[in-house]
Amino acid sequence: MVKSFAISLRLLRGAGRHGLLGTLLTVVAVAVSTMLLLAALAANGAFAARAERAAWQTPSPTSPESATAVQSTSVEYFQDKPVTVIRLAALDPAAPVPPGLPAFPKPGEFYASPDLTGLLASTPADQLADRFPARTGGLDRSVLAAPGQLVAVLGLEAADPFLTVPDGAPVDPGTVPTHIADFGGAPSLDTVIYDLLLKMATAMVVAPLLIFGAAAARLTVARRDTRLAALRLIGATPGQVVSMTVAEAVLTAVIGAVLGALVYLAGFAGLAQIPMQGQTWFTSDLWVGLPWLLAVLAAVPVLTGVSAAIGLRRVVVSPLGVAQRQTPPGLRAIRLVALAAALIAASFVTAGTGAMMVMIVLGAVFLAINLVGPWVVGIIGRISAAFARGPARLLAARRLVDDPRAAWRTVAGVALTGFVAGFVGLLSPATLETTDSDRTVLSLRAEDASAVDDVTAVLAAKGIDGGVEVAESGKDYAYIAVTVADDPATVDRAKAALTGVVPGQAPIADSDQAAEGRILLGDVQVGVRIVLIVSFLVAIASAGIASASSVLDRRRTYGLLRLAGTPLKVLNHARAIETRIPLLVMGGGAILVGIFCGVPFAAAGAFSPSGLITLATCVVLGFGGVVAASALSRPLLDSVTSSPTPSPD
Amino acid sequence: MNSAPAVLAGSGLVKRFGTTTALAGVDFQVARAESVAIMGPSGSGKSTLLHCLAGILGPDEGRVTLDGKRIDDLGEAGRSVLRRTRFGFVFQFGQLLPELPSVENVALPLMLDGVPRRIAVTRAAEWFAPLGLGGLEQRRPGELSGGQAQRVAIARALISEPAVVFADEPTGSLDQTTGADTLRLLTESTRKQGACLVMVTHDPTVAAACDRVVEVRDGLIRGGASAAPPRSAPTARPAIAFSPGNVPTGPAPAAPGVRHDEHGARQW
């Protein structure tokens, strides 16, 4: 193996300018893959770290007998910012100290997170501070989900109405007073949703990434095909040929992986600035950790080597195989059956299907598109070859027929991204509903309608102009609706004034109820955008690489054709058609498949305007990007064909 | 032999690459239907001479004329058209597009000139039987032997009825028997077309197949411009009855044997 490395290194160095360019492209491809892989890992780790740190904020229920304390966590809003309010009462002197606090808060104590402390100081007291007692102390940032999270920890008497544990098992420990034994915590509902969304996003980014990495590895092999077949012809053993190629691919990949890791190291602090759940990140959350970093640095070259070895199979099987450029066996229509099966499976998916099942079906459709792609490209090639009139169109069509896999590789990234875009195009939230009313309604749940008088009195005392009425009442409850002017200061003053007026109740504004959904949908939008941007970047880069490697592969033939007077324009036109035809057919097809799979998840079964905009942007940028990336290899074609004596290497 | 008016002529050709002088003032002429071999050791400037004559490289000094008209001062586009329409090229290997069937490879120059595909392909197919390629029209270059591929290349060079065919080591990658057959086809079919042939080679037996041999050494033509050796055996034989459209048997029987030999030679 050491000898193989030595020979490969010499071959790499002696490869000349164009050979070096090919190596460079592979290095860049591997670097981008490594960087994105690390970023995806970092994102997964970051959500996990955030969830783990904030777990104590969500109580984990226990039986009343083993309880040491009662905890109630609710999210109340200041303007549109969520404030996590944690109310605690000890049932036992031995109750454990909550994370980040010096001691279990005594009744009347109030601890605030750093950003909440800042907000309290900079905001009129009647809008925020009046909701809480006087601040006792601070809460350490290390127990917050995010550095800017607003958290209030309040100590109460166990008998406080805010902490009255309802009979029966708590439906959602995130909102109802709960008996707890310790602060081990539980994953909040949010955490579960985000984990699922993140896994979907990761799958959507990593799948094209693998194709991209494989394309890069094949680029290495493609350039070496001829020479390795020659080596094989002069008697190198299959083992020697394989180890030499693998050595070269691994060597190239190591350089790329290190570069990618360096880019990640330089940039991961920037990732921390992308807000999720309304919060930016601790920089340390986005650090993957040394073991993962080393694992990726080791795995990427190994995977590249494996991909290179697979690509070489043909050469090793027969020394004449590549040297003679025989026609590869045709692709079979059985591939179509795979897509049909996947689509039938997808048609059973509804919004009610389990998340795991949805993932599996989506993955299967994804793979099926990838399987069916080359076959469809071959068919398109045959059809266009039969109808081609001009030389450029004929050249392009014949090339599609000859190597549909290569043509598919050029457009695979964008086509698969088209699938993602079609799918999430439907998922994207519609432009947020905004109430055009100039009034905000706050509601309070009271035991009976008599609370109306208390509420009216408090509002009058604080000088807040508002209408009070009973919105709905039953045997043992009454919802009191307070209508105030829809301006943030008035709403927050009313909230501060009304907190605790009805025992155990903080008022909830109608805008608050929408806020949580708004944040989640906003995050989905950010996530969708990141997934689309990343996968389009990967797709465009891989299209560029595929097109460059096709020029490098055929530089001798192109060069001789040009010498014989073939206008470069025709060659370039042929290459453009070669990309454009499969791009339109497969990209369009993949979008349709994506829409088909996305329909069960669409809110009203129709496109939302923002989803359509996202989709249209994808089509324009993605298709335009691929065409541009292919055009980028024009100067390369010019340069490899301008030499009067084109050399085989 | 030089009394006929020159179709292609170079006079006082000088070409330098950096400090190296590849051509140091070369005069060269070739007459209608004449074949000339340019010989010389590696680095002598023979390929540079061919490139200058064919409008691939522009000479630093001197002039090149085709049918009396100057061509060395044409722009890249003009020279490209000239190469496509008035010249034909046969290289050592690798000039055929691997994904195109042979017949489409041959038809390509016509299509590039705007001939409709159906007509171009029909005309291309007429070349196959005379060159011993009958039945191989739909084969792709990868499925042909080296000798067959070179004959397809010869057909492609000749289909646009060029004034001059340039060949650069056309038999360089073939075994001796196949090489001799290919060479004979090249010289004879070129002459039949009334085109002249300019061939670069380092092999004296290959050069001997031409009417005339010139030797380039250190950028100059040595030993007189017409060191014409006696015509070799292939041209002494009756020329094959070659005429596209009127398809004779020609050298077809050679093909299967050649192909077999080639595979045998390669499969060790």
Query: pLDDT tens-digit profile of A280-291?
Result: 899 988 998 899
Q: What is the mean pLDDT of residues A564-592?
A: 85
- Reduce the secondary structure of A473-513 to three states and give it as a string: ECCCCEEEEEEEECCHHHHHHHHHHHCCCCCCCCCEEHHHH
B111 and A556 within 8 Å at the Cβ level: the answer is: no
Averaged pLDDT score across all residues of chain A: 78
Task: Measure in Å the smallest separation between the Cα of B1 and chain A Cα atoms.
Answer: 29
* Least confident segment among A89-98, A307-316, A340-349, B138-147: A307-316
B96 and A399 within 8 Å at the Cβ level: the answer is: no
Q: Which pLDDT belongs to residue B150?
A: 92
User: Closest chain A residue to B90 measured between Cα atoms?
Assistant: A564
Rounded to whole angstroms, what are the CA distances from B126 to B20, B88, B120, B243, B254? 46, 18, 10, 9, 19
The SS3 of residue B158 is: helix
Q: What is the mean pLDDT of residues A200-228?
A: 63
Q: What is the mean pLDDT of residues A103-107?
A: 91
User: 3-state DSSP: chain A helix, strand, coil percent, rounded to 5?
Assistant: 65, 10, 25
Q: Which pLDDT belongs to residue A153?
A: 93
Q: Which pLDDT belongs to residue B258?
A: 35
B142 and A388 within 8 Å at the Cβ level: the answer is: no
Task: Measure in Å the smallest separation between the Cα of B219 and chain A Cα atoms.
Answer: 18
A564 and B95 within 8 Å at the Cβ level: the answer is: yes
Angle at A314 between CA A310 and CA A317, to 5 degrees: 110
Confidence bin at A174 (pLDDT 50/70/90): low
Does B257 have pLDDT greater than 60?
A: no
CB pairs A-B closer than 8 Å: 92
DSSP string, A550-618: HHHHTHHHHHHHHHTT--HHHHHHHHHHHHHHHIIIIIHHHHHHHHHHHGGG-SSSS--HHHHHHHHHH
Q: To the nearest whole percent, how much of chain A has pLDDT over 70?
A: 78
A566 and B108 within 8 Å at the Cβ level: the answer is: yes
Does B64 have pLDDT greater than 90?
A: yes
Q: Which pLDDT belongs to residue A312?
A: 63
Q: What is the mean pLDDT of residues B193-203?
A: 91
Q: What is the mean pLDDT of residues A205-225?
A: 62
A398 and B81 within 8 Å at the Cβ level: the answer is: no
Contacts 24+ apart (CB under 8 A), A116-120: A116/A83, A116/A150, A116/A151, A116/A152, A119/A78, A119/A81, A119/A150
**Of residues B246, B255, B258, B254, the one with CA closest to residue B127:** B246
| Residue of B111, B145, B262 best to disrupt the A interface, most CBs of A under 10 A | B111
Confidence bin at B61 (pLDDT 50/70/90): very high
Q: Which pLDDT belongs to residue B177?
A: 87
Q: Which pLDDT belongs to residue A478?
A: 79
Confidence bin at B138 (pLDDT 50/70/90): very high
Q: What is the mean pLDDT of residues B22-36?
A: 92
Q: What is the mean pLDDT of residues A95-105?
A: 89
Q: Alpha-carbon distance A364 to A632, whole Å?
A: 33
Task: Measure in Å the smallest separation between the Cα of B145 and chain A Cα atoms.
Answer: 9
User: Closest chain A residue to B119 measured between Cα atoms?
Assistant: A389
How do strand B87-90 and strand B164-168 relate by DSSP bridges?
parallel
Task: Measure in Å the smallest separation between the Cα of B51 and chain A Cα atoms.
Answer: 7
User: Closest chain B residue to A557 measured between Cα atoms?
Assistant: B95
Which chain A residues have a beta carbon less than 8 Å from that of B96? 557
Angle at which helices A510-553 and A16-54 cross, to 10°: 160
Q: Which pLDDT belongs to residue B7?
A: 92
**Facing residue for A566 by CB, picked from B104, B112, B142:** B112
pLDDT tens digits, one per residue of B4-21: 678 999 999 999 988 888
Which of A210-224, B105-119, B222-236 has the highest average model confidence (pLDDT)? B105-119
Does B237 have pLDDT greater than 70?
A: no
Q: DSSP character for A331?
A: P
> For residue A258, what are its two tokens?
């290190």
| Residue of A394, A558, A641 best to disrupt the B interface, most CBs of B under 10 A | A394
- Please give the residue that has the higher pLDDT: either A567 or B253: A567
The SS3 of residue B168 is: strand
Which chain B residues have a beta carbon less than 8 Å from that of A403? 99
B95 and A403 within 8 Å at the Cβ level: the answer is: no
* Least confident segment among A549-563, A571-585, B38-52, B214-228: B214-228
Say what the ipTM of the complex is: 0.75
Angle at which helices B146-159 and B254-266 cross, to 10°: 130
Angle at A304 between CA A301 and CA A308, to 5 degrees: 135
Q: What is the mean pLDDT of residues A91-109?
A: 89
B117 and A394 within 8 Å at the Cβ level: the answer is: yes
pLDDT tens digits, one per residue of B33-56: 999 999 988 888 888 899 999 988
A565 and B108 within 8 Å at the Cβ level: the answer is: no
**Residues A597/A542, Cβ–Cβ less than 8 Å:** no
**Residues A253/A304, Cβ–Cβ less than 8 Å:** yes
Q: Which pLDDT belongs to residue A2?
A: 62
Q: To the nearest whole percent, how much of chain B has pLDDT over 70?
A: 81
**Facing residue for B83 by CB, picked from A399, A565, A648:** A565
Does A322 have pLDDT greater than 50?
A: no
Q: Which pLDDT belongs to residue A14?
A: 58
Task: Measure in Å the smallest separation between the Cα of A235 and chain B Cα atoms.
Answer: 9
Q: What is the mean pLDDT of residues A89-104?
A: 88
Where do the H-state alpha helices sit in A76-150? 114-122
For the whole model, what pTM was predicted? 0.67
Does B102 have pLDDT greater than 90?
A: yes
A70 membership: H or E segment, kind and range: strand A69-78
User: Closest chain B residue to A554 measured between Cα atoms?
Assistant: B97
* Least confident segment among A508-512, A517-521, A564-568, A588-592: A517-521
Residue B140, φ and ψ in degrees, nearest 5:
-95, 160
Asked if B104 reaches chain A (Cβ–Cβ under 8 Å), the answer is yes
Q: To the nearest whole percent, how much of chain A has pLDDT over 90?
A: 10
The SS3 of residue A132 is: coil
Does A262 have pLDDT greater than 50?
A: yes
User: Closest chain B residue to A235 measured between Cα atoms?
Assistant: B268
